A and B are shown apart, each in its own frame.
Chain A
Amino acid sequence: MTGDYMTIVIAAMLVNNLVLVQFLGICPFLGVSSRLSTAIGMSAAVMFVMTLAAIATYLIRQFLLIPFELQFLETVSFILVIASLVQLVEIVMKKISPPLHQALGVFLPLITTNCAIMGVALLIVQHGYTLGETIVFAIASAIGFTIALVAFAGIRERLALMPVPKAMQGGPIALVTAGLLSLAFMGFQGLA
């Protein structure tokens, strides 16, 4: 049993890394990775919302969509759940923990259109996970996202000081760097 969970963790974190292998959440990966501190803030916000969203969508699917045979509403209901959850988290956080809200607040609205959250919710449906596996998978995926984002931000901070050919400046060199990072993650293939 714990072995199963371990496999899920290794697979979600490294082998099928959300960003570098599955291409989910590329927008924040390219968008907020120019500074290490914002990358860490974004990762924390993603981890928080991703876990909650995975649980919420799992419950909605199990207790609403499947009993009433409404699976065709999956896309519509999932995105609405995620969007309202993000709003809810923002309101609750503002009330309960203002410092945390100050740190993560700017990242929360961006998360609604983060395909990693929606992608994880859909992947859970595809894999047919139980509730326990869902939670473990969501947290491990978020850690995988964090590893990729923080490593990338660290590289980009140094890259900013390097002489880069004019044509490659900005987006292109960032993509090639991400390619090399992805190549490194290919090394984990076959681990789980």
Chain B
Amino acid sequence: MSNEMSIRSELTKGFFRENPVFAMLLGMCPVLGVTTTAINGIGMGVASLAVLLGSNTVVALFKDLIPEKVRIPAYIVVIASFVTIVDLSMAAYLPDLHRSLGLFIPLIVVNCVILGRAEAFASRNSLAYSVIDGLTMGLGFTMALGMLGAVREVLGSGALFGFAFVGEDATTMLLFVMPPGAFIALGFLIAAVNTAVKKAKAFAAARSRAVSTQPATEGVN
């Protein structure tokens, strides 16, 4: 029972409760740097997801073999190898996306989310949990990037996933595709998501209180 519950909580934690971007403010450089469109954001998210999944798997497999003292350099080499694989594969198969993400693909190496998960999770948990952790954290990261990319694309270019829904000569808020817009849009997005999560939590707590008090009142009657 408790095992099932924890798998379920592992599967959902990356989206809101422990979302690397909204809840922990980690890995902000690519979040701000590449999200001028939803496609770019999702592409970056998926690239990070692939690296995170690979590094979590390898770190979990070799955690007993890696000496305590050199663990951080060892993790960095593992991560850097996966980043190189992703970098070269994207250059070969998705040259356009690779060009628009530019510098931020090799910079996945220094994304604190990935090293953070290797250190805080994969080095302490079994392979299966580490894979799940990599998957959900990566998806949560992708979701955050996609959301910010969508907001910026809609406001800044009047389009979504490349399909324009305003006329050619319409005035859009260009600010949002420029650097300042990234900071401002992310600030408001985090505020909105955190408020929504807090409301949902309060609602769930109120409901569980109502459910747990019900049998007691019945008992009294």
Question: A residues engaging B (CB < 8 A)?
Answer: 20-27, 30, 72-76, 79-80, 83-84, 112-115, 117-119, 122-123, 126, 167-168, 171-176, 178-180, 182-183, 185-186
Given contacts A115-B29, A179-B187, A182-B183, contact A72 B107 (CB under 8 A): no
Q: How does the 8 Å CB contact mask read for B78-97 relative to A, with 1 for contact and 0 for none?
A: 00110110011000000000
Which A residues are CB-close (under 8 A) to B188?
172, 176
Interface residues of B (CB under 8 A from A): 25-30, 32-33, 72-73, 76-77, 80-81, 83-84, 87-88, 103, 106-107, 109-112, 115, 175, 178-184, 186-188, 190-192, 194-195
- A113 near B115 with CB under 8 A, answer yes
* B178 neighbours in A (Cβ, 8 Å): 186
Q: Which of B27, B76, B88, B106 contacts A83 (CB 8 A)?
A: B76
Are B29 and A175 neighbours in the complex by a CB distance under 8 Å? no
Q: Given A23-B29, A175-B187: A79 and B76 within 8 A (CB)?
A: yes
Number of A-B contacts (CB under 8 A): 119
Which of A112, A126, A182 is the most central at the interface, judged by chain B CB atoms within 10 Å of its CB?
A: A182
- Say whether, besides A182-B179, A182-B183, A30 and B25 are in contact (CB < 8 Å): yes
**Which residue in chain B gives the minimum CB-CB distance to A182?**
B180
In whole angstroms, how far apart are the Cα atoms of A30 and B80 in the complex?
Answer: 25
> Which of chain A's residues have a CB closer than 8 A to the CB of B26?
27
Measured CB to CB, the nearest residue on chain B to A22 is B33
User: For residue B106, which residues in chain A have a CB less than 8 angstroms away from its CB?
Assistant: 74-75, 118, 122
- Bound complex: CA of A24 vs CA of B31, how far in Å? 11
Supposing A119-B103, A175-B184 touch, asked if A76 and B84 sit within 8 A by C-beta, the answer is yes
> Cβ of B184: which chain A residues have Cβ within 8 Å of it?
175-176, 179-180
Question: B84 — nearest CB in chain A belongs to which residue?
Answer: A75
B112 contact set on A, CB distance < 8 A: 27, 113
Given A175-B183, A182-B180, is A79 in contact with B109 using a C-beta cutoff of 8 Å? Answer: yes
Knowing A76-B77, A172-B187, A174-B187, say if A167 contacts B179 (CB, 8 Å): no
Query: How far is B103's CA from A122's CA once the two chains are assembled, in angstroms?
Result: 7
**A-B pairs, 3 with minimum CB distance:** A179-B183, A175-B187, A179-B184
Contacts of B115 in A (CB 8 A): 113
CB distance from A64 to the nearest CB of B (A): 16
8 Å CB contact of B180 from A74, A76, A171, A183:
A183
B28 near A30: Cβ-Cβ < 8 Å:
yes
Residues of A within 8 A of B81 (CB): 76
B179 contact from A21, A75, A117, Cβ within 8 A: A21
Partner of B190, one of A26, A117, A175: A175
Question: Given A27-B27, A167-B195, 13 other A-B contacts at CB below 8 A?
Answer: A23-B28, A24-B29, A24-B33, A76-B77, A80-B73, A83-B76, A119-B103, A168-B187, A171-B187, A175-B187, A178-B187, A179-B181, A179-B187
